[in-house]
Structure 1
Amino acid sequence: MSLTAAPVAELAQVLFTSRLQESDHPSAEQVRAAVDERLCACGGDRAVCTAFVAQEAGDHPEVYAARMRWALTAVSRAYGVRASAA
């Protein structure tokens, strides 16, 4: 599956695990590069990123929701797709 065909939520989870921050005001290109970099670091396995997101949500629930909202928005803009509510 190509990244452009991957669900927004999955790409957002990958971005969530990156070092990129909302305060960096990243461009679409930077967001896509961060997603690519993290996927490579995880051996191309999005499940590895999902596990990390779950760990972070449990360890830092006070920042999880805001970061995930940002990641969803950033991925939607970077890949030109609309995030849908689950």
Structure 2
Amino acid sequence: MISIVKDLAAEALFVSHLQPSECPTRQAVEQAVTAMILLHGSDGCAAEVATEFGDHPEVAVRRMSWVHAELTGVIAPRRATALH
């Protein structure tokens, strides 16, 4: 279940307008993920990711790497806090 949620969050952040150069805050990342899921739905986010990988694979790979690094910073601290 957690991997499904993380995958959806990754797709949503990927299609958002946030950029690595903005060094977004945790709150900005969470807001962007929520906004994209509400706007596109899970299938829409996945479809946009697929389109970008098809049209611009070299850019999409770099963006997805950034997305996963951002989500690790957002999801991991919350999980660690919940365990204590």
Identity among equivalent positions (%) equals 34
| Contact 1:9 1:72 (C-alpha < 8 Å) held by counterparts | no
Instruction: Give the superposition deviation at 1:6.
Output: 4.6
TM norm structure 1:
0.79
Confirm whether residue 15 of structure 1 aligns to residue 13 of structure 2.
yes
Helix, strand or coil at the partner of 1:19: coil
- Structure 2 counterpart of 1:84: none
Q: 1:40 to 1:7 in 2, by over 3 A?
A: closer
Helix, strand or coil at the partner of 2:53: helix
**Alignment partners' CA distance in 1, 2:3 and 2:31:** 16
TM norm structure 2:
0.81
Give the structure, 1 or 2, with the largest relative contact order (CA under 8 Å, sep 6 or more).
1
Where do 4+ consecutive residues of structure 1 move more than 6 Å? none
Count of aligned pairs: 77
User: Looking at CA atoms only, which structure, 1 or 2, has the larger radius of gyration?
Assistant: 2
What amino acid is aligned across from residue 41 of structure 1 in structure 2?
A: L
- Structure 1 counterpart of 2:37: 39
**Alignment partners' CA distance in 1, 2:3 and 2:65:** 20
1:77 to 53, 65, 73: 73
**Alignment partners' CA distance in 2, 1:64 and 1:76:** 18
Structure whose residues are more often helix by fraction = 2
Superposition RMSD on alpha carbons, in Å? Answer: 1.9
Q: Which runs of 5+ in 2 are unaligned?
A: 80-84
Q: Which runs of 5+ in 1 are unaligned?
A: 82-86
